[in-house]
Amino acid sequence: MSPRRTVPPSRHVVVVGAGLAGLAAALHLRGAGCEVTVVEREPFPGGRAGRLDLAGFRLDTGPTVLTMPDLLEAPLAAVGEKIGDRLDLVPLDPAYHARFADGSAIDVHTGTEAMEQEIREQVSARDAVGYRRLRTWLGELYRVQMATFIDANFDSPLDVLSPDLARLAALGGFGRLGPRIGRFLDDERLRRIFSFQALYAGVPPERALAAYAVIAYMDTIAGVFFPRGHDRAPGGVRALPQAYADAAVEAGVELRLGTEVTGLERRGNRVTAVVTDGGSVPADAVVLTPDLPVVHRLLGRTPRRPVPLRWSPSAFVVHLGLDRPQPTLGHHTISFGGAWASTFDEIIHRGRLMSDPSLLVTRPTATDPALAPPGGDYVSVLAPCPHLDAAPDLDWDRIGPRYRDEILGVLAGRGIDLDPASVVAEHRISPADWARAGMAAGTPFATAHTFAQTGPFRPGNLPRGVDNVVLAGCGTTPGVGVPTVVVSGKLAAQRIVGDAA
């Protein structure tokens, strides 16, 4: 049985937000024959996949990891295009450089033979065999989950009752992620490599559902990619939403940038227009992509839940434009601290900064040197941290500069010396900045993927009390991450036009 959709099928749809979810929805809707208007407050598309040009450096202020190009291509395919028509997606090999407190390092390859050989040389033959078994399990986990639990609309928890649910249970998907990974790998370093992704879902690996190993599948097996610039367009993660926006406009979508949405006009249980600072835009249906509190304010109603929403940890990010190259750094480096379980406890439960941080260091110029001026380099450092509700006493506007110095000091002590004297451009983003951008609790990772906020229990994309509004984005189904956010746009479009999307 097909999921419920808005009735009747809508002709003119207004999409609020030109992030990846909104643009994906617009492309699918346009491909199905709808007239579509996208309204975006910023002067450029991208949403959380933001951008900032600073002193000749082209900064990506949102996600830095792109996976699953087949899922990313689907919105373009809806209007008859291929991703290769607009983007030069370069596979990264290795996907990550993992560095550990004991001075050891492991390169994370997505190819089977290359990764098995890396583990055999750097760890043990036993774990190389375990990796083969883990890789098979991750692939099965992804195939079971994709059609039924990720690329699917839910109207009821009963919708998940299918043979795939039994298969997921048989694969151990309802156990705990950390222990499940431990069944395949003895080495603690490898266990971290294949389970740290749970932090993006907002849950410690020891407590996360093993089903969320699907995130590890996406970046350690399916591969990590980066849009490299070419003659027609500059590179960076920003190139993905720009490609969507350009394709949408060429397909006939109206894109209104620099336009703030201030309200919704309603008649009974239907929204008749989206109110902006430039006037009202009539609508037969509306797709809302802002974070949930903003959506609830626009709708004038916050849904009741038996358990309050729980938010994922946030991130403190430092973007550095340097006047000299950093040739020893690869594209993505994960610098693991010695601590592990206590780190998650600090940022999730105790509302404290990590005492022994694990950090993601990204140098996109390793793949696309044009993102920095000649002779320069661009590096960003992401430190997971508590969201604002968990740590209300952290005054980020005051402690941000000091924490930046602390992080760079930690990296220098681990052999990644980003000399402050070489910094010629800098941009910091703290939980306070995420909150000012409208993100609940100051986190860009939205609602955590606890059991009570997963699958059919996650905030749904059909809000109650209004008949022609659909939600998309990381706060609703299927969840956090670039590929899943893009899928959420397709699911929203299907609510409006059915299987034509």
* Mean pLDDT, each 10-residue run in order, the chain (501 residues): 51 97 98 96 95 96 94 97 93 96 96 97 97 95 84 74 81 88 96 88 83 89 92 86 97 97 95 96 96 93 80 96 95 95 90 95 96 96 96 96 97 94 97 94 91 80 93 92 96 90 76
d(CA 480, CA 143): 19
pLDDT for residue 9: 59
Say which amino acid occupies 181: I
Structure tokens given for 434? 């995420």
Count the neighbouring beta carbons within 10 Å of the beta carbon of residue 401.
Answer: 11
Q: Which residues of 344-364 are buried (b: 16+ CB within 10 A; e: fewer)?
A: bebbbeebbbbeebbbbbbbb
Predicted TM-score (pTM) of this structure: 0.94
Question: Which residues, including other chains, have CB under 8 Å from residue 406's CB and lie 6 or more apart?
Answer: none
Could you tell me if 395 and 97 are in contact, meaning their C-beta atoms sit under 8 angstroms apart? no
pLDDT for residue 2: 44
Say which amino acid occupies 232: R
Q: Which residues of 147-179 are buried (b: 16+ CB within 10 A; e: fewer)?
A: ebbbbbbbeeeebbeeebbebbeebbbeebbbe
